């Protein structure tokens, strides 16, 4: 959990740049041997250990969702995203955004063993910001 607390979301002026920055930080963190080893072991054990799974949720996942909340708030302040008046929808969307980013990066870095490089990150952030049409435009 302490390792993941190193992730920061500076305001780089656009939602796409903010996403790309935090994804590259996350990928760099996953490249560290101590992170990779610990994460793989804890995730494997959590499939059989419900209290451990809950501890992962509270000490890593819920704490890191702050990045999504901060990013969405900043994008709304810049006029890139409209404010959603329904808090239930916002909470569900924040959960989905976190799951998509974390899942994509973990899968790419640890499961597929493919690089999380600037090109891949640009495509992922375009997909998140612009939907399928935005990612297709990058080729």
The pLDDT score that the predictor gives to residue 114 is 94
Total number of domains constituting the chain: 1
pLDDT tens for the chain, 139 residues: list them. 777 878 888 888 899 999 999 999 999 998 998 888 888 888 899 999 999 999 888 888 888 888 888 888 899 899 988 877 777 777 888 888 889 999 999 999 988 999 999 999 999 999 998 886 655 555 5
Give the span between the Cα atoms of 31 and 77, in whole angstroms.
Answer: 33
The pLDDT score that the predictor gives to residue 93 is 84
Q: What is the H or E stretch that residue 50 is in?
A: helix 50-56
Q: Tell the burial category of 3 from Cβ atoms under 10 Å away from its Cβ (0-12, 13-18, 19+).
A: middle
Q: Which domain holds residue 41?
A: 4-138
DSSP-derived letter for residue 78 is T
Q: Tell the burial category of 77 from Cβ atoms under 10 Å away from its Cβ (0-12, 13-18, 19+).
A: exposed
Q: Taking the CA atoms of 120, 5, 63 and 61 in sequence, report the sign of the dihedral they define.
A: positive
CATH code where residue 47 lies: 1.10.357.10
């Amino acid at each position: 959990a302490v390792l993941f607390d190193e992730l920061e979301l500076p305001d780089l002026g656009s939602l796409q740049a903010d996403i790309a920055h935090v994804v590259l930080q996350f990928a760099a963190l996953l490249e560290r041997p101590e992170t990779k080893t610990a994460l793989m072991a804890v995730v494997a054990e959590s499939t059989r250990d419900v209290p451990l799974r809950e501890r992962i949720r509270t000490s890593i996942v819920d704490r890191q969702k702050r990045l999504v909340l901060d990013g969405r708030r900043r994008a709304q302040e810049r006029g890139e995203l409209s404010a959603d008046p329904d808090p239930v929808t916002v909470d569900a969307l924040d959960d989905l955004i976190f799951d998509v980013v974390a899942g994509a990066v973990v899968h790419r870095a640890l499961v597929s063993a493919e690089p999380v490089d600037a090109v891949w990150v640009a495509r992922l952030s375009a997909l998140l910001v612009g939907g399928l049409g935005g990612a297709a435009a990058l080729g």
